[in-house]
Amino acid sequence: WDEHLRACAIDTDHQCIAACCERKLPVMHLETRSTQGMSTAGDVDTGRHAVYENREKLATLCSKADLVFILAGFGGGTGTGAAPIVASIAREMGILTVAVVTTPFFFEGNTRLKTANEGLRRLKNSVDTLIRISNNKLLQELPPNTSIVDAFAKADETLHHGIKGISELITKRGYINLDFADVESVLRNAGTAMLGIGVGSGERRAEEAARRALESRLLEKPIDNATGIILNVSAKNITLREMNIAAAIVRQNCSEDADVKLGLIVDPDMNDDELDITLIAAGLELDEGELMGDASDIPAIYRFGLDINEEE
């Protein structure tokens, strides 16, 4: 994490807390009588009560922040139950509050999917901006022989990418950088947002990255009704022409009235010919079905576990 960001892992389960401590992560153990140091066993109400009992500690944790990111995996008890309460605490303090949450893989079962959907309904009204990352959409971008460990790792990587795309524009010194007010103007009271990620290489890398970000499965609908766009371009080196190409492609796909914030980060650790684009489209008008996602999008090879080739 960047020096300007403070991370904290929150859980009821002492085993998860211990694992975070081993990785030198700051932690907050949600001590509650109902769990006695164990998990919530998938019970959302238990997760909700655990946070409520520790609300003063959470308020203290958030008190000096300008922006709070809430990362959670939805479908279980702690993340689904806790995230809306944590969001409410931060938002009531006037803090810009952005939630980035993952919804379950299809193979995790209907119970977890329903739990996640109920949690999204609550969370949507508790944050300034909600970014839902569908693990099932990620699944479509992975080879069928991807291991479960690698699939969950990809979900975690995408969560990190989304937060990095916003935070480094504020905290890193870029050639074209934004300040907090720029980001706030797009994300304050924005409702629902979606994330698009694109990577390009070679001579046409800017066009390739921009189109891949716009065509990303995570960006589940066109961005033409977004009220605001955050566009983060990262490269080890970049030409003016490439920057113009990337920005032009994105602008062609959004409303003329959209508030587009463009940032450029020069990252010396990236490969010489690589260019990354992170796109946050905020203020999207989604009906409930679009917010929750649609399991019918999942390819048959994943839905039924059949070793077959799908018909074109």
Say what the pLDDT of residue 135 is.
84
Structure tokens at 130: 């909600």
Residues of the chain below pLDDT 50: 295-296, 300-301, 304-312
Structure tokens at 177: 């950088």
Domain boundaries along the sequence of the chain = 9-187, 191-284
Say what the pLDDT of residue 293 is.
64
- Beta carbons of 40 and 73 less than 8 angstroms apart: no
Tokens 């260019």 belong to which residue? 275
Q: Please check whether the domain covering 9-187 is classified as CATH 3.40.50.1440.
A: yes
Burial of 306 (0-12, 13-18, 19+ CB in 10 A): exposed
- Hey, do 9-187 and 191-284 end up sharing a CATH topology, with the first three levels equal? no
Give which of 40, 93, 31 is closest to 62, Cα–Cα: 93
pTM exceeding the 0.75 threshold for the entire prediction: yes
The beta-strand segments (E) located in 90-146 are: 96-103, 129-134
Residues 6+ apart with CB under 8 A from 269: 236
Provide the CB-side half-sphere exposure for 15 (13 A, CA).
4
**Rounded Cα–Cα distance for residues 17 and 28 (Å):** 8
CA distances from 105 to 7, 100, 250, 286 (A): 26, 16, 30, 21
**Rounded Cα–Cα distance for residues 179 and 282 (Å):** 17
CA distances from 119 to 2, 145, 212 (A): 29, 31, 30
Structure tokens at 251: 């602008």
Structure tokens at 43: 């019970």
Q: What is the pLDDT of residues 173-203, one digit of tens each?
A: 667 777 889 999 999 999 999 999 999 999 9
Say what the pLDDT of residue 304 is.
46
Say what the pLDDT of residue 258 is.
94
Torsion of CA 41, 46, 47, 52, to 10 degrees: -160
191-284: CATH architecture:
2-Layer Sandwich (3.30)
Give the other-Cβ count within 10 Å of 32's Cβ. Answer: 18
> What's the count of helices (H) and strands (E) in the chain, helices before strands?
12, 9
Say what the pLDDT of residue 309 is.
46
Say what the pLDDT of residue 307 is.
45
| End-to-end Cα separation, the chain, in angstroms | 43
Provide the CB-side half-sphere exposure for 152 (13 A, CA).
8
Give which of 44, 45, 123 is closest to 90, Cα–Cα: 123
Residues in the chain, overall count:
312
